[in-house]
Amino acid sequence: MWRPLSAIVFLMAICLLTAYDDYSYVGLMQSLDELAQHHRDRITLREVGITYQDRSLILAMITNGDGRLGKRVIFVVAALHGDWMSVRAAFKTIKDLVLDFQDNADLLADFDWHIMPLANPDGYEYSRKLTSNFRWSKTRTRNNVDCIGTNLNRNFDVGWGVGFPELHDPCDQNYAGSAPFSEVEARTVRDIMQNLIKSERGVMYLSLHTFLRSVIYPWVYNSTWVPNQGENIEIAKFVTDQIFIRTGKVKAVGVQYGRKSGDTSIDYAFKMGFPLSFACEMSGLDRVNNLVICIRAFGKKAIEKYPPSRPIHQSEEHRPTKNSASRNWDLAPVL
C-alpha cells in the first residue's frame, strides 16, 4: 500500500517543484526562447544588457509578421522592482500577442510591441528565495560592506534623489543609487527609450507595478501640468473604466502623482520624448489579469490616439540626454 502512495506523493512533489521552477529566471527565459523559436516571424528576442549578477536582460519585440519595418512602438517594462505578478502579466501579454495574433490584429496592425518582461532579474531571483513576507524591490549591487541594492525606479535622471531622505540611504529599499543611472538595468531601459525616440518610433512607455490600484501619468516629480495633460486624463479614464467593466469590481484611479518624488522611469520617458508615458499599478488577488486588462486598454488607446497620420510631437522638454550611451541595437524585428 505504501508504495503507490509514496510514488504519488513523489510525483506530486515533482509537479510542484516543476511548476515552481517555471517561474524561475531560467524557466521564464527558456519558455520565451521556445516561443521565439516557434514563431520567428512574430517575435524576436534581443539581449540588451547583462545585470550585476550576470543575468541577461531580454527585450521581446513583437510584430504581426506582415513584414513592414519601422512601425510605431509601445514599450512595456515589467518588474523594475522585481515584482512577480508584473512579470507574469508581461509574459501573458507576450503570449497573447504572439499566439492569438489574429484576435489581436488591431493591436498589431500599425504598431510593434517591445516588452521587457523582467527588468530586474537579480532582485526577482533574490526575492523568490526569501521565506518571509518581506519584499525585496532593489537590484543586488553591493553599495558598501553592509548594504545591497538600488531601487531602479529611483535611478532615472529626472529630479534624481529629490523627495525624501531614504533615497540616499544605501540600506533602504528606496535607495536611489550612487548617481543617476548607476545601475546597468536602468541604463539599459534608458538606452532602449533613446533608440526608440531617435528612430521616431516610440509612442507609449508603460511601466508595470503591483502595489497601488492606479494608473499614473507625469509628472511624478511635481504637479506641473504637461502639455498633453487633457489627453492623459482621458486615457487614464478609459483604462480605469475598462478595468472596472471587465472585472465588474476593481476601481482603479487615474492620477498625476505630482508629489515631488524624483527619478521615476515614466517621468524620464516623457521627458525624453514619449508623448504617452504611464505606470499601471494593480494590487489584489487578481492583479495579473487586471494588469493584462490594463496593458491592453493602454495599447488600444495609444493606437487610437496615434494613427500613422498623426506626427509624434516630442514633448517640449525633449532634448538629447546627456549621459546616455550610444548603443545601437537594431530594434527592428528580424524577418
Ligand X SMILES: *[C@@H]1O[C@H](CO)[C@@H](O)[C@H](O)[C@H]1NC(C)=O
Residues at the interface with ligand X (CB under 6 A)? 158-159, 219, 221-222, 224, 271, 317
How many angstroms separate the CA atoms of 269 and 186, rounded? 12
Nearest one of 203, 224, 184 to 327, comparing CA atoms: 184
Would you say 319 and 270 are in contact if contact means Cβ atoms under 8 Å apart?
A: no
H-run or E-run covering 266: helix 265-272
Shorter beta-carbon distance to ligand X: residue 124 or 270:
270
Name the one residue in this structure whose C-alpha cell is 547583462. 50
- We find the least distance from the C-beta atom of residue 133 to ligand X, in angstroms, to be 35
Shorter beta-carbon distance to ligand X: residue 78 or 266:
266
Question: Pick the catalytic residue: 34, 47, 281, 304?
Answer: 281
Q: Are strands 111-116 and 56-62 parallel, antiparallel or unpaired?
A: antiparallel
Burial of 13 (0-12, 13-18, 19+ CB in 10 A): exposed
- We find the least distance from the C-beta atom of residue 303 to ligand X, in angstroms, to be 27
Mark whether 281 is an active-site residue.
yes
- We find the least distance from the C-beta atom of residue 260 to ligand X, in angstroms, to be 9
How many angstroms separate the CA atoms of 276 and 229, rounded? 10
Nearest one of 77, 64, 45 to 104, comparing CA atoms: 64
How many angstroms separate the CA atoms of 157 and 180, rounded? 5
Shorter beta-carbon distance to ligand X: residue 166 or 317:
317
- We find the least distance from the C-beta atom of residue 162 to ligand X, in angstroms, to be 9
- We find the least distance from the C-beta atom of residue 312 to ligand X, in angstroms, to be 19
Shorter beta-carbon distance to ligand X: residue 111 or 278:
278
Q: CB-side exposure of 157: number of CA atoms within 13 Å? A: 18
Q: Are strands 276-281 and 214-217 parallel, antiparallel or unpaired?
A: antiparallel
- We find the least distance from the C-beta atom of residue 274 to ligand X, in angstroms, to be 14
Burial of 164 (0-12, 13-18, 19+ CB in 10 A): middle
- We find the least distance from the C-beta atom of residue 271 to ligand X, in angstroms, to be 6
Q: Are strands 111-116 and 214-217 parallel, antiparallel or unpaired?
A: unpaired
Shorter beta-carbon distance to ligand X: residue 75 or 268:
268
Shorter beta-carbon distance to ligand X: residue 173 or 314:
314
Would you say 82 and 124 are in contact if contact means Cβ atoms under 8 Å apart?
A: yes
Beta bridge partners of 207: 77, 279
Shorter beta-carbon distance to ligand X: residue 149 or 159:
159
Active site positions, annotated: 281
